[in-house]
């Protein structure tokens, strides 16, 4: 009953936001780099902040660092959705927000200096990877459901590390968002506020699990996004492109834009692939070493990513497009 009520409240909040977005012209206009072709309401991912707000209102004594952090990244992201901000401002706020959850999770005490530095790089990288990958209908919502579902399973069956309700609130928000986004013609897009807020939520939980178990294998719950984002950045650096500018070189973009595979189907492929990876991680956890598990998972994903170059060549596209 609790989650039904939450779903109804979030649905109402989303509908109210649509009126605000329509009133103030908060829209996404497609350009030559976009994977969509129609003007659509932007910032629907604000639903994730609303869900965090509702959870925080019920757990105000224990979750204020996380909520402050997600509020900071949500505010700067929403501002960026309306009026573009410089990368320096956005990254500075991300750094501050991450510092808050690091303090909350006692990262500065539990990790050596070099570990903290690596954690900052990974956290900021994952936030941006989540944002880069948010480009077609359904991909953010479905992927988040898979990631949160895996974390929920681990929390219940392998290692308790956080309040399960906290994880479920993110999943309910994803379902509500998907109701409006996972369509042939999406009612709204997540915008930066959605992709970055939920990425912040995911990072908080994954980091907590890593600290509790002392294992890095849980980073593989983000392996599909990670491999696509990192390899695409390397590809663009090789092409001497500005990695902060919009482009169409992610594998999902090639499948959607160049091969005209339905967006919802490509999003489903990514969710299924991550489900398979997460299931493998859960099954092999403590059966093989962490390094071996990383090799088992990452190696085939790197090979799969090379499919992009075959597709680009086959369609007679230049790699510098």
Q: By C-alpha distance, which of 30, 198, 252 is closest to 190?
A: 198
In contact, 258 and 308? CB cutoff 8 Å: no
**Cα dihedral sign, 10-12-16-19:** positive
Tokens in use for 321? 């497009």
Residue 308: pLDDT band with limits 50, 70, 90: confident
Average pLDDT over residues 217-234: 95
CB 241 within 8 A of CB 247: yes
pTM of the full predicted structure?
0.92
Nearest to 270 by CA among 284, 248, 255: 255
CB atoms < 10 A from the CB of 235, how many?
18
Nearest of 156, 158, 131, 161 to residue 144 by alpha carbon = 131
The yes-or-no verdict on residue 72 having pLDDT over 60 is: yes
The whole-number pLDDT of residue 44 equals 93
User: Looking at residue 317, what is its pLDDT?
Assistant: 45
Q: What pLDDT is stored for residue 194 in this prediction?
A: 95
Measured CA distances, 71 to 77, 93, 115, 239 (Å): 10, 10, 26, 36
Residues in contact with 244: Cβ distance below 8 Å, sequence separation at least 6, in sequence order: 87
SS3 2: helix
pLDDT value of residue 321: 45
How does pLDDT run across 270-287, given as a tens digit for each residue? 999 999 999 999 999 999
Confidence check: pLDDT of 45 > 90: yes
Q: What is the DSSP letter of 28?
A: E
Provide the CA 274 distance to its chain's centre, in angstroms.
12
- Residue 40: strand pairing partners: 28
d(CA 316, CA 246): 21
For residue 295, pLDDT over 80 is answered with yes
């Amino acid at each position: 009953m609790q989650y039904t009520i939450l779903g109804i409240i979030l649905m109402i909040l989303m509908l109210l936001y649509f009126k605000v977005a329509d009133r103030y012209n908060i829209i996404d206009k497609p350009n030559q780099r976009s994977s969509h072709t129609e003007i659509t309401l932007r910032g629907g991912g604000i639903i994730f902040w609303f869900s965090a707000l509702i959870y925080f209102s019920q757990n105000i004594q224990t979750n204020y660092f996380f909520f402050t952090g997600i509020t900071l990244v949500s505010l700067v992201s929403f501002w960026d959705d309306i009026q573009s901000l410089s990368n320096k401002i956005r990254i500075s706020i991300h750094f501050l927000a991450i510092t808050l959850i690091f303090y909350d999770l006692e990262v500065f005490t539990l990790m050596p200096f070099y570990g903290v530095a690596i954690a900052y790089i990974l956290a900021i990288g994952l936030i941006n990877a989540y944002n880069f990958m948010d480009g077609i209908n359904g991909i953010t919502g479905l992927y988040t459901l898979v990631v949160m579902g895996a974390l929920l399973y681990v929390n219940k069956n392998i290692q308790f590390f956080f309040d399960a309700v906290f994880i479920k609130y993110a999943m309910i928000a994803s379902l509500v968002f998907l109701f409006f986004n996972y369509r042939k013609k999406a009612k709204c897009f997540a915008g930066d506020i959605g992709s970055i807020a939920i990425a912040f939520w995911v990072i908080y939980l994954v980091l907590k699990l890593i600290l509790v178990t002392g294992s890095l294998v849980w980073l593989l719950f983000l392996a599909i996004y990670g491999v696509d984002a990192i390899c695409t950045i390397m590809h663009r650096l090789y092409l001497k492109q500005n990695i902060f500018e919009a482009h169409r070189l992610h594998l999902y973009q090639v499948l959607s834009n160049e091969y005209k595979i339905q967006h919802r189907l490509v999003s489903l492929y990514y969710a299924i692939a991550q489900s398979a990876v997460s299931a493998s991680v859960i099954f092999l956890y403590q059966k093989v070493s962490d390094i071996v598990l990383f090799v088992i998972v990452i190696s085939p994903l790197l090979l799969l990513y090379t499919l992009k170059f075959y597709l680009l060549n086959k369609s007679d596209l230049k790699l510098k497009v």
